[in-house]
Amino acid sequence: MLFYYHSSEIDSNMLRWFTGRSAHPTRIRRALDALDEATWSQLVAWHPFLAGLTAPELDTLREHTAWILASKSFHGAHGLEVIPAMRHAIAIQAALPILGLDTSLYHGWTQIVVYPGGFMVPRTEVDEAGVVHEYMMETAGEAWEGGPVILSWEEAQPGQDRRANVVIHEFAHKLDQRTGTADGMPGLRAHPDLDARHWHRILTACLDDFDRRLDAVERAIPPDVDPESDAATPWYDSLPLDPYAATDPAEFFAVSSEAFFVHPEPLARAWPLWYELLAKYYRQDPRLRMQGLNDSHALPHNRNGEH
């Protein structure tokens, strides 16, 4: 259905919604006020990978979280009611990748759709013989170019696998899509220290290396173990990334991004140059942040229980 409005009928709030731009400052302030000290402290505690952020970083994260809550509309699918705690949990995770960036990178779209669990999406593949195969596949997240981010609440809610993060994954796709078709290279115009050719060269080399590692793991799985079953998990867990990263450069960037923020050590060990590029792009170093946290926990205590 199409709607037509006289120009005088379109206020600034409606225009911002149509264009997927920032919400009015008043709405952002209301969202910020809703993240009061108790609510915010609990929200941060729900996400262990946020531990180690400094007080100024947490202040910026809160502001970006409020921006997302005010600028994006949340919709439940299949009868799901998206309550404030769910919106908060999704928004804080989505805010982490742009902690050191500008919120304008999330302009151009408006909706976040949340399903109770996994949902079915159509897929098309062309095999080596040129035959087109169309099928339905269950997934936990989608990011449509110029359209919504679609998430499974079952996978997006706090307390899930600490080595993966579907919210960060899909919002990394949104960053990648800012330059057009997702290809594993987000826009670098605001990063004079990053060179597109160098980025492409490192990404390609690391993806090729990951393909070789994945092939080796698949060859190592015994014949009596179904590689698609949970029984094969110990073999795949030896990889620095989820096997889905081998799909294409866009998925390699998205999977790398979620690992970068929630489980950075294997990624940094496997491909230090790729990790360095991600750290420069996101202007964050989660590995260093988490190492500092571990070091502080390892400090000896005196008899009064003080460090």
Mean pLDDT of 83-98: 98
Q: Rounded to the nearest 5 degrees, what angle is found at the Cα of 184, between the Cα atoms of 230 and 282?
A: 95
CATH number of 11-178: 1.10.472.150
Mean pLDDT of 251-265: 97
8 Å CB contact between 128 and 153: no
Q: What is the pLDDT of residue 119?
A: 86
Q: Find the Cα–Cα–Cα–Cα dihedral 34, 38, 39, 44, rounded to 10°.
A: 130
Residue 40: name the closest of 87, 73, 88 by CA.
Answer: 88
Q: What is the pLDDT of residue 9?
A: 33
Task: Please write the tens of the pLDDT for every residue from 172-222.
Answer: 999 999 988 899 999 999 999 999 999 999 999 999 999 999 999 999 999
User: Residue 110's pLDDT band (boundaries 50, 70, 90)?
Assistant: very high
Task: State how far the alpha carbon of 207 is from the alpha carbons of 58, 81, 215, in Å.
Answer: 33, 39, 12
Residues in Cβ contact with 219 at an 8 Å cutoff, skipping those fewer than 6 apart: none
Mean pLDDT of 82-90: 98
Of the options 3.40.390.10, 3.40.50.720, 3.40.50.300, 3.40.50.2300, the CATH number for the domain spanning 183-307: 3.40.390.10
Mean pLDDT of 114-131: 86
- In the predicted structure, residue 117 carries a pLDDT above the cut 80: yes
Task: Please write the tens of the pLDDT for every residue from 266-292.
Answer: 999 999 999 999 999 999 999 999 987
Task: Please write the tens of the pLDDT for every residue from 31-49.
Answer: 999 999 999 999 999 999 9
Ranges of beta strands (E only) in 26-152 are: 73-76, 111-115, 119-126, 132-139, 141-143, 149-152
Q: Which two tokens stand for residue 301?
A: 């205590």
Residues in Cβ contact with 134 at an 8 Å cutoff, skipping those fewer than 6 apart: 122, 123, 124
The whole-model pTM stands at 0.87
Q: What is the pLDDT of residue 87?
A: 98
User: Residue 11's pLDDT band (boundaries 50, 70, 90)?
Assistant: very low
- In the predicted structure, residue 17 carries a pLDDT above the cut 80: no
What integer best gives the mean pLDDT of the chain? 89
Q: What is the pLDDT of residue 10?
A: 36
Residues in Cβ contact with 31 at an 8 Å cutoff, skipping those fewer than 6 apart: 23, 65, 66, 67, 69, 70
Q: What is the pLDDT of residue 13?
A: 47
Tell me the DSSP string of 169-185. Answer: HHHHHHHHHTTSS--S-
- In the predicted structure, residue 71 carries a pLDDT above the cut 90: yes
Q: What is the pLDDT of residue 249?
A: 98
Domain residue ranges in the chain: 11-178, 183-307
